[in-house]
Amino acid sequence: MRIFKILLALAVLCIGFEAAAAQSVRFFSAMNDIPLMEGLDELEGQGFIFDKAEGRIGALEAQSTHIKAAEALNYYAPPLPQFGWAVKSKNPLTFRREGEQLVLNAQDTPQGLWLKIQIGPAQSGLF
């Protein structure tokens, strides 16, 4: 009986840790399938998303005073495939999913990191 109680307590702890980890992931406000890297601040007034029959068209922007461009790009390369995005190219970092293309541009500026994420129909030639 004691082993059962210990296993039950461990299961409850694991579920609690998973729930806490899931809650700590933030996403861009206009696109709930693009995570917002810890330490980035979304520039909400700068972003926009339009839904069209051909797919979404839009841009998101974020900034940070302590993250470098290379760090941001390295952060986004592994998790986006978990959301169905496949890497198309690395310079600029470009992904494709179901007819959409996602392009990440990160730039180190005197004020810090500036990150712009653009999305559009893959065949549109927008980016």
3: in domain: no
Domain that holds residue 37: 26-121
54: in domain: yes
**How does pLDDT run along the chain (127 residues), one tens digit per residue?**
555 434 444 444 444 434 444 558 899 998 888 999 999 999 988 889 998 887 889 999 999 999 999 999 999 999 999 999 999 999 899 999 999 999 999 999 999 999 999 999 987 666 6
| Residue recorded with tokens 């051909």 | 54
53: in domain: yes
- pLDDT for 55 equals 83
Q: Maximum Cα–Cα distance for the chain, whole Å? A: 65
83: in domain: yes
Cis (ω within 30 of 0) for the bond into 79?
no
Tally of structural domains, the chain: 1
What distance in Å separates the CA atoms of residue 37 and residue 77, rounded to the nearest whole number? Answer: 12
100: in domain: yes
- pLDDT for 126 equals 63
57: in domain: yes
CATH number at residue 82: 3.30.310
Predicted structure pTM score = 0.76
Return the DSSP state at 29. Answer: S
CB atoms within 10 A of CB 62: 23
What distance in Å separates the CA atoms of residue 56 and residue 51, rounded to the nearest whole number? Answer: 4
95: in domain: yes
